């Protein structure tokens, strides 16, 4: 029987636990899912900062001009015999130029984190970094370039089928389309393989077009857009030799890559699509 206070006619205070908080309801499954999504979206890919050496700066500025000169010099041969021109000269020279550009100008995948890019983005309030490239030392540039070429070769069939889905000839001109896809892979994908390796988060950002613009991602986007725009003159009834498949596609890929690379490394560096 509880004791009664004769003055207040009330039971004496008892010891109770802390009162339940009324500030927020208990978390639900939806809240947990939102928290998980926000934590996964906090990953932020930094734009690629070219190597700061004087040789790197010279090569990266001369690289677009040399690529354009190669295509311009071989354009008559490309119009008359696309397969021979692409396989004999344009593709080998383009691959060699891309390897030289990557080794001299770009940070190797798994190498030192780009300090200047990190400081620049921090000043803009952007946080997050690629932990996969923060290790000191890094990989050998030559080995990384060779592995990147191998990964680029594996990506060519996928680009070939993508071009077929977008209207490339299926029953004819198979070698033309395959060589065009190889040029697109060497120009657009090889630099990305070199700087990102097989980092799944980085490639998710690239594939979702959420990566920041730089010379590598800008060149990739430019090559895709240029190849798509290059198909416009083909069905027109101008009856010109250079309208044959895939001359205008290849010119669009080269022009888009050069433009995207130059813009990505300058006025739109660090911005997102």
pLDDT tens for each residue of 201-237: 999 999 999 999 999 999 999 999 999 999 999 999 8
- Dihedral sign for Cα 134, 137, 141, 145, please: negative
> Is residue 78 predicted with pLDDT exceeding 90?
yes
CA–CA distance from 159 to each of 114, 154, 181, 188 (Å)?
A: 30, 10, 6, 11
pLDDT band at 39 (very low <50, low <70, confident <90, very high): very low
Q: What local confidence, expressed as pLDDT, does residue 241 receive?
A: 92
Q: What local confidence, expressed as pLDDT, does residue 139 receive?
A: 79
pTM: 0.78
Work out the average pLDDT over 82-95: 97
pLDDT tens for each residue of 175-205: 999 999 999 999 999 999 999 999 999 999 9
Hey, where are the domains in the chain?
Answer: 47-264
What is the chain's percent helix, strand, coil content, to nearest 5?
60, 0, 40
């Amino acid at each position: 029987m509880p004791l009664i206070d004769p003055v207040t006619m009330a039971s004496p205070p008892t010891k109770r636990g802390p009162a339940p908080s009324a500030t927020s309801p208990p978390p639900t499954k939806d809240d947990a899912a939102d928290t998980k999504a926000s934590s996964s979206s906090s990953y932020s890919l930094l734009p690629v900062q070219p190597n700061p050496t004087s040789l790197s700066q010279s090569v990266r500025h001369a690289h677009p001009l040399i690529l354009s000169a190669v295509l311009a010099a071989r354009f008559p041969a490309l119009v008359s015999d696309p397969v021979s021109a692409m396989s004999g000269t344009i593709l080998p020279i383009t691959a060699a130029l891309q390897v030289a550009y990557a080794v001299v100008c770009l940070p190797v995948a798994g190498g030192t984190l780009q300090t200047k890019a990190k400081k620049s983005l921090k000043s803009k309030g952007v946080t997050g970094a690629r932990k996969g490239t923060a290790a000191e030392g890094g990989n050998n540039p030559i080995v990384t370039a060779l592995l990147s070429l191998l990964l680029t070769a594996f990506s060519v069939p996928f680009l070939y089928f993508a071009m077929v889905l977008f209207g490339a000839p299926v029953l004819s001109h198979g070698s033309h389309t395959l060589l065009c896809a190889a040029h697109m892979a060497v120009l657009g994908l090889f630099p990305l393989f070199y700087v990102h390796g097989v980092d799944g988060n980085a490639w998710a950002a690239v594939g979702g077009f959420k990566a920041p613009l730089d010379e590598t991602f800008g060149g990739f986007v430019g090559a895709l857009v240029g190849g798509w725009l290059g198909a416009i003159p083909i069905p027109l009834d101008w009856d010109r030799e250079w309208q044959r498949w895939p001359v205008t596609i290849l010119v669009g890929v080269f022009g888009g890559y050069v433009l995207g690379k130059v813009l990505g490394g300058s006025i739109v560096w660090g911005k997102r699509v």
